[in-house]
Amino acid sequence: MKRIPKRRRAPELLRPKQLTDRSFAIIETISRYRFLGTKDLIHLVGGNEDVTHRHLQQLYHRSLIGRLILPQNGNNAEFIYLLDNTPALRELCIRSGIPQEKFDWKQIKSNHDKYSEGKLGNGLDAEGKFLFLRHELMISEFRAGIERGCKSSDGAVLLERFQQGPEIHSSVRLASGKTLPHRPDAFFTLRFPNAPEGQQRSNFFYEADRSTSSIPRLREKFEAHLHFLLQGKHSEAFDIKRIRAVIVETITASRAEQLKSLAAELAAHEPLAGTLFWIANSGTRDTKESPFPQVFQCAADSRVRSLLD
């Protein structure tokens, strides 16, 4: 049998295979995340890893899911999966009775226009797209870690809500008259069903920092979070009483120290900043020992925190 290529679709080389519940679970998971690496996708779908790999191969070559590889040193790059084919998915919805509102068709079209096979291109345009993809994958990896942690908690912790994108973006006006954009990378809510009434939910903003923004730009981002909460805008925008913390995840220990120093500078004028920003280096987030590891640090003290605190 002729070897099936990895970098281009070859449906003619596939053996006919009926879509199963696992096939639909893969498509639904990618839809929720937009961009998702192979390792996280396999963990989230569950079941036998080899079987899931075969389903991924079938879905890709049948144009129901897309995939790409980010440039990196070495040969261990994993596939990044996305939905990028509107006609194929609409046909699947019609054949299988899947409600079409389950999919964000605007997002899928955007994926097709920018990231489908042959669309990444070269030069500065491609470099910018790869930077964006790495940033989105950082958000996806964080979210996947939370979902895995919730799954292993046997119902003690639930991811009740996770939002990202323009729908959670707004602005905040400072006393000086300056207006700052408030654009968190994500907002999420953890629910603890066994906790006393009134203590069952923790709400967080999340920021993925890949060291590409300047410190002055990050200062404005921190200030926007701080004043968004001080002005009570979270109550109206998200229908919640309080934000537990702004999670800021970066990629090096030195950058994490820079961000802690930035929070400390703001705390000198507004003490809330000292405990509001929970900062961590993503390399320390090893969930093998604990699904919710204690890795987050604040400017106000030396105690390390986890999302369960």
Separation between Cα atoms, residue 208 and residue 201, nearest integer Å: 22
**Residues 6+ away with beta carbon under 8 Å from 230:** 270, 272
Bridge partners (DSSP) of residue 305 are 296
pLDDT for res 180: 97
pLDDT in tens, 283-308: 776 655 677 989 999 999 999 999 99
Residue 309: name the closest of 225, 218, 190, 224 by CA.
190
pLDDT in tens, 95-154: 988 899 999 999 999 999 999 877 877 666 778 888 999 999 999 999 999 999 999 999
Token pair for residue 293? 């590891």
The mean pLDDT value for 232-242 works out to 95
Q: What is the CA radius of gyration of the chain?
A: 21
Percentage of residues of the chain with pLDDT beyond 70: 93
pLDDT in tens, 25-52: 999 999 999 999 999 999 999 999 999 9
Separation between Cα atoms, residue 51 and residue 138, nearest integer Å: 26
Q: In what order do the strands lie in the sheet with 245-250?
A: 158-163, 186-191, 201-208, 245-250, 277-281, 296-297, 304-305
Percentage of residues of the chain with pLDDT beyond 90: 75
pLDDT for res 77: 76
Is residue 267 very low, low, confident or very high in pLDDT (cuts 50, 70, 90)? very high
Is residue 5 very low, low, confident or very high in pLDDT (cuts 50, 70, 90)? low
pLDDT in tens, 151-187: 999 999 999 999 999 999 999 999 999 999 999 999 9
**Residues 6+ away with beta carbon under 8 Å from 96:** 19, 24
CA 30 and chain centroid, separation: 11
Domains in the chain with CATH codes: 11-120 (1.10.10.10), 154-305 (no CATH)
Residue 85: name the closest of 103, 111, 104 by CA.
111
pLDDT for res 33: 95
The mean pLDDT value for 254-279 works out to 96
